[in-house]
Structure 1
Amino acid sequence: MARAAEDVERLEPADRAAWRAWLAAHHARPAPVWLVLRKGRDAPLTQDAAVEEALCFGWIDSLPRKLDEQRWMLLVSPRKPRSPWSRVNKARVERLVAAGLMAPPGLSKVAAAQADGSWDVYEAAESLEEPAGLTTALAAVPDAAAAWARFAPSARKGILWWIAAARTPETRAKRMAETARLAAMGLRANFPESRGR
C-alpha cells in the first residue's frame, strides 16, 4: 500500500556532504524521504547534486513538490529492482564512476540493472525508435499513424518510455493499442490532458 505524502519523513541536509553522509548511513532503508531543497542558485544543495548523490547510493528521485516560498521537496527513494534507467541518469553514473564517487550500493544497482536488462530498457525510446508492435497498431487504426507523426518528439518519447516500461508483454500490447486508439483522436496516451476525454 502506498504511503501518504504526509507520512513520509522530511530531510533537510545542510549541504551536499550532509546528504551524502545521510545516504551512506541510511541507503539500506526501504522507505523514501522528502528531500527538502532551497530555491535559488545559491542553494547549498542543488537538485543535480542531490540526484547525483542519490545515484551513488542506489537511490532515485521522482516527485517534486512545492513546500514554501524558499524551499521545495523532492521525493527520493531506493531504486526498485528492474527499474529502467534513463539516458540522463546513465550519463550521470558514468561521470560519477570516472570521478570515483559511486559507492558500493550504487555500483551494485548499476551491475544488477546491466545484468537484468533494465539498464537499456529506455534506449530505443530515447532514440524515438518505435517497437514493431506500435507500428502495426498505428497502421491498424485509421488516422492514427498520421496523428502520431504530428506529435512533438518529446511527446512521442514520453509515450515510448511508457510502453517500454511495461512489465509484461500483455501490458505492452495494451499500451500500444491504447496509443493507436488515442492518437487517432489526436490525443496522447499516458498524458494527463488526454485522460477523461
Structure 2
Amino acid sequence: MQKNEIEIFYPKSQTAWRKWLEKNYLSKQAVWLVFYNKNSELKSITWSEAVDVALCFGWIDSKKIKIDEETSHQFFSKRKPKSTWSKINKNKVDKLIEQGLMTKAGYESVAIAKQNGSWTILDEVEELIIPADLEAKFIDKPNLKDYFLSLSKSAKKLLLTQLLFAKTTQTRQKRIAEIIEQAEQKLNLKHL
C-alpha cells in the first residue's frame, strides 16, 4: 500500500476516531491520522488518546511522518497476530478493559497475543534483564557491564531487542560481540 492509497483522517476527538473505527475497522486495513502540534491553532487528539482508541479495535500505530511545521501523519493499521506488545500498550489495555471500552476485536487481538507469546516476548527487554549469554561476556570485564548499565534506558532496550530478535545463533553471537567491542571502545551504542 502506498501512502496516497490510504485514507487520511483528521479526528477532532476520540469520539470521532472511535466512530471511524466502528465503521471501518473490518473493511479498511489502515489509515493515516492527522495530528496538529501544540502550537497550532487547529486542535487534534493526542497520540496517546489515538492509541487508546485503536487498541480497543485491535489496531496499532506505527510510523509517523512530519508534513509541515504544524502537522504530522501517524499510520494506524490492524495489528498483525505476531506483533509484539509493549508494556505501555499492555497497561493501556488493562485500563481500557476496566473502563469497558474494549470491543470484541480488541479482546481477540489480546487473546491471540497471549496464545502465541507475542504478549510477553518483550517482558525481559522491558525489565532490562541482561540475557545469560551477554552476562557471561561481562563476567571477566565488569567495567564493560558498568558501561552497558550506564547507557540510557532506550539504548539498552534497543540492544536487548536486537539480541532477542536475532534469527540465528550466529547473528546473536555477532551482535553480542559488537556490544562488547563497542563497550570496549566506549562508543555510543547504536543500531548493530
Q: Normalization by structure 2: what TM-score?
A: 0.82
Equivalent position SS for 1:63 = strand
Cα distance, 1:114 vs. partner?
1.0
The answer (yes or no) to whether the contact 1:141–1:181 under 8 Å persists in 2 is no
- CA 1:182 to 1:140, structure 2 compared with 1: closer, same or farther past 3 Å? farther
- Equivalenced residue count is 188
Q: Gaps spanning 5+ residues in structure 2: where?
A: none
Quote the Cα distance in structure 1 between the aligned partners of 2:189 and 2:77.
29
For 2:38, the equivalent position in structure 1 comes to 40
Structure 1 segment 1-197 matched on structure 2, within 5 A: 3-29=1-27, 31-40=29-38, 43-138=43-138, 144-164=144-164, 166=165, 168-170=167-169, 171-185=171-185, 186-190=187-191
Letter in 1 for 2:67: L
Aligned-residue offset at 1:26: 2.2
SS, match of residue 82 in structure 2: coil
DSSP 3-state at the match of 2:159: helix
Distance, in Å, in 1 between the alignment partners of 2:177 and 2:92 is: 34
Q: Is the 8 A contact 1:145 1:184 kept in 2?
A: no
Question: AA paired with 2:163?
Answer: I
Aligned residues with identical type, % of pairs = 34
Flag the 1:46–1:179 CA change in 2: closer, same or farther, 3 A.
Answer: same
Q: For 1:33, what is the secondary structure of its paired residue?
A: strand
CA distance in 1, matches of 2:141, 2:105: 46
Q: 1:133 to 1:7 in 2, by over 3 A?
A: farther
Q: Distance in 2 between matches of 1:44 and 1:187?
A: 36
Q: 1:45, 1:27 → 2: CA distance?
A: 19
Please tell me the residue identity of whatever aligns with 2:104.
P
Change (3 A) 1:11 1:174: farther
The SS at the match of 1:22 is helix
C-alpha change, 1:53 and 1:151, in structure 2 (3 Å) is: same
* 1:28 match: secondary structure: coil
Which is worse superposed, 51-60 or 6-15?
A: 6-15
Q: Scaled by the length of structure 1, what TM-score is found?
A: 0.80
Q: Is the contact made by 2:12 and 2:43 (CA closer than 8 Å) also made in structure 1? A: no
